[in-house]
Structure 1
């Protein structure tokens, strides 16, 4: 054991998964509530959204599939089960609430897939894994909110479903830096490669260049 955190983890966890050959961009729960100062979910994560939108634009330019996820509940939250009972702010995601809508600046496109979910992971109780497999995807690139919640849950499930998983640190956000950084650290150690916006854009562009050379 060593007292330095990075050195401690390198003893057991010091491996890179790398990128795949056929990635998809998944944008997790960029909902209006996280950007509304009057909402209990407000997290001040404008920079994360801006980063995700830049990555999304490059993804479309080079033909990489884009998936948006949304949390949605019927009135009363019956379809949210124990999660809705425990996490009271989930009432902000009841269908029809302004806070449940996609954040300003994120208007779904016709060629984007929208996955509706009731639980933290984008994969739990949804068709996402089957859809990505049918599309020949081998690499899930995650952006979204919040890092410690739905991004982390989606990361673990993505890896568990057999996808190489990349988490873009710049394009994820949380209501406080501590859980954000701690969860990025842990995901990078065990489940995914945590990368920067610049790295993922360079990767996307390299795939486009490869198609041009073929």
Structure 2
């Protein structure tokens, strides 16, 4: 962006050009990339192929991480286009061609608008003027707005200025903004950078979306949930990773180390732990990358079964747990199996609940990564029990509320790497070697452990005892709390006898 050095020094002396804070809840506003602006065959347009391509990459990245995408378009009714009621059209009569329903106001076909995206139709330069955009952004709990589109000197500039005036920190993405001529484009970006927004490179904007997507968050209401949990927080280190454990006591009880699933912080298994305290001493681990535990120092290698099993070893040793029982659900069941076969621990037994049976040469894990990340994106934008209920309608209300408040504490990298592990690490490499006594609980309606899968598991480890929880899906305890807990208590009772 060409900058006159004298102008630059004058602006610097005046105290302009400070860096804009970047929040944790961005939204992308794509301004007026409609055919009337992006195609040179329209009188109001120019060839904005490069800018549309850049904007499309922003849209794809925002959508991949679950951040809101908002398109804007100028469109006039016949009365507005042909009449004298819109002052702007008296100054810029060429804009009268932007009529409702015409090709000129259609979104550029190179952009992929989907049902979950928003569209704001406007009559003026700013996407905020006379629209509900500010209310929409507030409703989406956005704190930072990324702006791109056309034209830089007109609608992009007006929208960026009004974004700041509406209370949002604002970034303008240079390569994704276009104009009909270079000089007004450069002048607008210079002024925006000086007074209103950070003008950033496309790579910077993409990196910001990526980094922000894996920024784990916990709200005050989530932390307050711990006040209702009858457990003591314990801390253990596994290498450089600090691990949090909820210890339900009693201190002289047989320890049962509970290992939750891929998107389940420890607190979400509180209702299971409470139902066991008369039998055993439940201790529920915040698996690394979830809840209050640290992230892996190297996300590319720190979320495999070996790393998770090493954490189990560290918890058992660090808390002095003698001959514990390992109880794992889903991902946690895989971790329990791996920890049991390493031979490093003296265990009273294991209980594996609906472990993912996917792996190399097998079918994919039934829940896609996009589904997990979509739910994570909802949580980081701010979700509630009603929205959670649309994905998990059978769960008790309290469990829906806890998921709404605690899912945002899960690391995107942890979810992504663990999901990949469901298909690259074979459960059946460990399962035949899991020593007795071991119990295998599964949901009768689970898509993760099918009837065929349960039969293979029984064949591969004949010493294991199996129990089906009728009508339960993969989330056994959540789908059928009473029946799931009864089956678990029966298994634990046998391990204690």
* TM-score category of the 2 structures, normalised to the smaller one: over 0.9
SS class of match (2:119): strand
Contact preservation (8 Å) 1:36, 1:99: no
1:118 aligned residue (123, 136, 150): 123
Runs of 4+ in 1 over 6 A off after TM superposition: none
Corresponding residue number in structure 2 for 1:10 = 12
Q: Please give the secondary structure, in 2, of the residue aligned with 1:4.
A: helix
100-109 or 133-142, larger mean C-alpha shift: 100-109
Whole-Å separation in 1 of the counterparts to 2:17 and 2:131? 32
Distance 1:195 1:74 in 2: 36
**1:53 maps onto 2:51 in alignment:** no
Work out which of the residue numbers 149, 162, 171 in structure 2 matches 1:166.
171
User: Retained in 1: the 8 A contact 2:84–2:90?
Assistant: no
Map 1:75-90; keep pairs closer than 5 Å: 75-76=78-79, 77=81, 78=83, 81-90=86-95
Change (3 A) 1:3 1:133: closer
Partner residue of 2:24? 21
Q: 3-state DSSP class of the match of 1:37?
A: coil
Which moved further from structure 2: 17-26 or 76-85?
76-85
Structure 1 residues 80, 175: CA separation in 2 closer, same or farther (over 3 Å shift)? Answer: farther
SS at match of 1:21: coil
Is the 1:26–1:67 Cα contact (8 Å) retained in structure 2? yes
1:1-214 alignment to 2 at 5 Å?
Answer: 4-12=6-14, 13-76=16-79, 77=81, 78=83, 81-211=86-216, 213=295, 214=409
Q: What is the deviation of 1:40?
A: 1.2
Residues 35 and 103 in structure 2, CA contact (< 8 A), matched pair in contact too: yes
Kept in 2: contact 1:25–1:66 (CA 8 A): yes
Secondary structure, aligned partner of 1:123? coil
Compute the displacement of 1:176 (Å).
Answer: 0.6
SS in 2 for 1:167: strand
Higher relative contact order (CA 8 A, sep 6+): 1
- Give the structure 1 partner of residue 457 of structure 2: none
Q: Which moved more, 1:87-96 or 1:48-57?
A: 87-96
- 1: CA distance between counterparts of 2:5 and 2:112? 47
Deviations 1:170-207 (A, max 9, x none): 10000011000100000010011111110110000001
Over aligned residue pairs, what C-alpha RMSD do you find? 1.7
- Cα separation, 1, equivalents of 2:38 and 2:62: 24
Which entry has the higher C-alpha Rg, 1 or 2? 2
Segments of structure 1 that go 5 or more residues without pairing to the other structure are none
Q: Deviations over 1:153-175 (max 9, x none)?
A: 10111000100011001100000
- Is the 1:18–1:193 contact (alpha carbons within 8 Å) kept by the matching residues of 2? no
- Distance across 2 between alignment mates of 1:18 and 1:201: 16
* C-alpha separation in 2, matches of 1:16 and 1:96: 41
- C-alpha contact (below 8 Å) 1:79/1:118 kept by paired residues: no
